[in-house]
Amino acid sequence: MVERYLAGESLTDLAFALETSASAIQVILARHAVKRRSCGTGGAHKYTYTDRRGRELKMRSGWEVLVAFHLDAQNLDWNYEEKSYTLSIRDKRGNPCSYTPDFWVYAHDGRLDALIDVKGRRTAKQDRRIQALQDDYPGLPFSIWDEAKIRMLGFTGRVLRHPQLVVGERLVRRA
């Protein structure tokens, strides 16, 4: 679904997946200064997200923006697409493949705590690269966050429809 959404379909797909309206998602994105850019297809950076430190980051999907909201709400230190890992596998042309996790999350002492990659629908090509990353770099604290994980963070249609999130510099749960 994320690939279809990134390929130019409207917010309707994301709204359907989260059981809410496209306008509810647009309101939240607008309040957090997230702008969708009209450029290219899958893989293009379509969103500008301003994090709690004031950095403007170009992101590829609305799902990534939701994860960024969550990381900011937790006051975690994180970076977006900080580094790529060269893999032992090769593409069809014989070139080395690489993998760039979406989020690099750091402990307060500066140690790498987690690498998070946000995936909607996974392809065989992505699975091959994920497996190669895990085989080539076995000590990495790597995890995939999919729609189910994002829902576990509280981003459900009900939450979006009933403003339980106070928007501003960061997401805060209203008591």
For residue range 42-91, list pLDDT tens digits in order: 556 577 788 888 888 888 877 788 888 889 888 999 999 999 999 999 98
pLDDT, position 65: 81
> Hey, CA dihedral for 133, 138, 142, 146, is it positive or negative?
positive
Can you give the pLDDT at residue 173? Answer: 39
- What does the alpha-carbon distance between residue 65 and residue 82 come to, in Å, rounded to a whole number? 16
Interacting residues of 56 by C-beta distance below 8 A, sequence separation 6+: 48, 49, 50
Question: What's the pLDDT at 166?
Answer: 33
> In angstroms, what CA-CA distances link 24 with 60, 88, 123, 126?
20, 43, 29, 31
For residues 113 and 107, is the Cβ–Cβ distance under 8 A? yes
Cα–Cα distance, 132 to 18 (Å, whole number): 31
Residue 51 confidence (pLDDT): 85
Residues in contact with 156: Cβ distance below 8 Å, sequence separation at least 6, in sequence order: 18, 19
The pLDDT score that the predictor gives to residue 63 is 79
The pLDDT of residue 36 is 54
* Ranges assigned E (strand) in 5-152: 35-36, 47-50, 56-59, 77-80, 85-90, 96-99, 103-106, 112-118, 142-145
Query: What structural domains does the chain harbor?
Result: 2-166 (3.40.1350)
Give me the tens of pLDDT residue by residue for the chain, a chain 175 residues long: 233 333 344 566 666 666 676 667 766 666 666 655 444 445 565 777 888 888 888 888 777 888 888 898 889 999 999 999 999 999 889 888 999 999 999 998 999 999 999 987 788 989 999 999 999 999 999 999 987 888 787 775 444 333 334 344 344 333 3
